[in-house]
Amino acid sequence: MNLRLYLHSLRTNPVSLGIAILSLALLPASAQTGSEHKPAWMNSRLSPDERAALVVKEMTLDEKISLLHGTGMAKLGPVSPLAAKSNGGAGYVVGISRLGIPAIQMSDAAYGVRNSGENGRYSTALPDDLAGAASWDLDAAYEYGALIARELRAQGYNMSLGGGVNLAREPRNGRTFEYMGEDPVLAGKMVGQVMKGEQAQHVIGDIKHYALNDQESGRNAVNVNIDKRSMRESDLLAFEIGLRESNAAAVMCSYNRVNGDYACENKYLLTDVLKKDWNFKGFVVSDWQATHSAAKASAAGLDHEEPGEIFYADAMKKAVASGKVPRAELDEHVHRILRSMFASGVIDDPQEKSVVDVEGGFEVAQKIAEQSIVLLRNEHSQLPLEVSKVASIAVIGGHADVGMISGGGSAQVDPPGGNAIMPPGKGKPAWQAHIWFPTSPLKAIRALAPHANVQYDPGTDPASAAALAKTADVAVVFAYQWESEGMDLDNLSLPDRQDDLIAKVAAANPHTIVVLETGSPVTMPWADQVSGILEAWYAGSRGAEAVARVLFGEVNPSAKLPITFPKSEADLPHPILVKPPDASTTHGEPDAWKKIAAGLPPFQVTYDEGLKVGYKWYDAERKPVLFPFGYGLSYTSYNYSDLKVTPGKAVHLTFRVTNTGNRAGSEVAEVYAALPESAGEPPKRLVGWSKVKLNAGESKEVKMELDALYLSIFNVERNAWQLVPGDYTFLVGGSSQSLPLKESVNLK
Ligand code: BGC
């Protein structure tokens, strides 16, 4: 069977098949097992490390070097002729057919597989990653990853470039939608599940962008200054938890510098923390053109350069020949890559192209969207709408007649048929184009309210929208905020004068509901004037159906905010986002890659808010917010009671949640801890949660064992996590600012 798989991996390259079989016969006896003449490393009973070590022994220097880099990417500098065999994804590493090692075909896959349009394929768009985190649902996160991996394999890929888990220190970061919010425990656990789901399908999983790439402005130049304790307890903790939960096989180092060194040649990040402290066995892949050296990067722990071969091909070979890169170091990089391939199953179970299951994708995307839409406001129980009582609905704005917006950059999933707001065939997604997915809220609302008079106004003229709203029983305004890799938001306001539109519609109709399609929090000067607000994020292929089902109560919302919605930018730790000076950018000029590779002059960003990320900042600074972390309403109500905390080797906690309303629902019950004064921590931190499904009137006891790591602080002198002895207060409830249960215990 192993021989079959070995031959299978050569199928894509029939020319080399003959050579490979011949070379296989020529392999030394030590590399063969038994009469089948299959290489010893194809024995799946051996550990991934043993198998990798056997392969490394057989490799020539050139073969080793070939595994350490990609073959280039159009528009990003030199492309090797070998790239012709790429599957069309962001990265392609040639296989070593002589040894039965398949190529690595990498694709971006943040909320779905990228570039499917260009490659004549199809991908499902899931709700964005921040939306996924808003579900606080570990099973949903696993399904999220599994769906992406199935579609990757069906499209010929065996490695995913998703898994974004940078903490939302800076909510104006244009990639906030690709990440999992502001809390390291929530983000880490959720990304861990996504990775588990991916790797279970035999795809190499990747977590990115390590680390502190928390703003896009000047990302290739910026030097992030932050103290060790703060980074270990915040941004790095999300990665630590994600890796611990999933054993993701790859980590992508980021563009920026951290405390002086580029992340991809930062020994503290890559070796001291990732490989030593966390015992990471996989490989480090550079972000695209985030490599800046051969010897320095190699010594720091970078294993693989993408997308091309500027430093990790000829330059690396020379560095090895001259002894600047020791052979053992080279072998370790190769070993890590091979080990990851064996461990994730891409060698034993190679991907096979097939037709993507479109219907199956819709089902998963809709289910996750329904779990991720947050109900932020519901005055006088405006929602859910009762079909029998609503005779007329005004649907306004946001191109809601044809679609819902999606997140851009390398995360962009191609909408079938092109951009929904363009004429058919004209909407091919270009870099940083605003792309609407063909999922029409207008149609979905009409489908659920077939007897109502549902009219649409584009919202471009607020007066005309208000006039339509005035005639309707209910007005639903769809508002968007687009964002993407490669840009940051100027502010947290809705663009295109949508605040004005909403205010005018709300003035015309007291039953106005706003549906937000945003990648980051937004400010809402009109919040008190509308009766309902739903945050739908970038809702994916089936967003409209999910929104309509929430509006009409077929789904009872259960999501909670994974990120704080501040009242204004003035309340952020850094009211003004630091922009790069001119010399620290390339403005997309031709051959920009040469300047980037050589290193752009640094400019400084200092995260002096330290540990106080997200709600920890607003708590500590006593700043009131618009909607707090962990907040989200439901169509039913819940009561919390009977908290008991038992200290011991592990802290155990029990409490009761009761559905006191008349509708079934799921409540995300959140547990926070306030550490002893002497720990010097912000007022509280999330230490656990449970999503509890409850029928009307039902009550359940929730039992939790708390992870000691989540209660600890990072002691820099000892380079270790430490539980500070003293009084801990545990707080339990349905939002970071509504925690009715409280109990203090002493922990030693
Ligand atoms: C992004 C990565 C992405 C890579 C490949 C880079 O610009 O930062 O997230 O995986 O491109 O497309």
Which of 216, 287, 305 maximizes ligand 1 atoms within 8 Å of its Cβ, making it the mutation to test the pocket? Answer: 287
Task: Kindly write down the DSSP assignment for every residue of 221-258, as one continuous string.
Answer: T-EEE--HHHHHHTHHHHHHHHHHHH--SEEEE-SSEE
Select from 114, 116, 122, 53 the least CA-distant residue to 342.
53
| Alpha carbon of 138 to ligand 1 centroid (Å) | 26
Place of tokens 């600012």: 737
Place of tokens 């400084």: 604
pLDDT at 26: 47
pLDDT at 456: 98
31 has a pLDDT exceeding 80: no
Alpha-carbon gap, residue 513 to 379, rounded angstroms: 10
- Residues 261-270 have a mean pLDDT of 98
584 has a pLDDT exceeding 70: yes
pLDDT at 400: 98
When the pLDDT of each residue in the chain is averaged and rounded to a whole number, the result is 95
pLDDT at 106: 98
Alpha-carbon gap, residue 695 to 699, rounded angstroms: 8
Catalytic residues: 287
Nearest CA to ligand 1 atom 11: 288
Alpha-carbon gap, residue 523 to 528, rounded angstroms: 12
Query: 462 CB contacts (<8 Å, ≥6 apart)?
Result: 497, 500, 501, 504, 505
| Alpha carbon of 72 to ligand 1 centroid (Å) | 13
- Residues 20-41 have a mean pLDDT of 58
pLDDT at 587: 85
Nearest CA to ligand 1 atom 4: 288
Select from 312, 309, 216 the least CA-distant residue to 265.
312
Answer yes or no: is the C-beta of 287 below 6 A from any ligand 1 atom.
yes
Torsion angle in degrees (nearest 10) through CA of 229, 233, 238, 239: 30
User: Residue 461 corresponds to which tokens in the numbers above?
Assistant: 């003229």
Query: pLDDT digits over 644-692, tens only?
Result: 999 998 999 999 999 999 999 999 999 999 999 999 999 999 999 999 9
Select from 289, 255, 215 the least CA-distant residue to 579.
215
Which of 108, 111, 206 maximizes ligand 1 atoms within 8 Å of its Cβ, making it the mutation to test the pocket? Answer: 108
Which of 161, 255, 413 maximizes ligand 1 atoms within 8 Å of its Cβ, making it the mutation to test the pocket? Answer: 161
Residue 52 — very low, low, confident or very high, per pLDDT cuts 50/70/90? very high
- Residues 437-465 have a mean pLDDT of 98
102 has a pLDDT exceeding 50: yes
| Alpha carbon of 720 to ligand 1 centroid (Å) | 32
Query: pLDDT digits over 488-526, tens only?
Result: 999 999 999 999 999 999 999 999 999 999 999 999 999
- How many C-beta atoms lie closer than 10 Å to residue 35's C-beta? 6
**In the 8-state DSSP scheme, what is residue 107?**
E
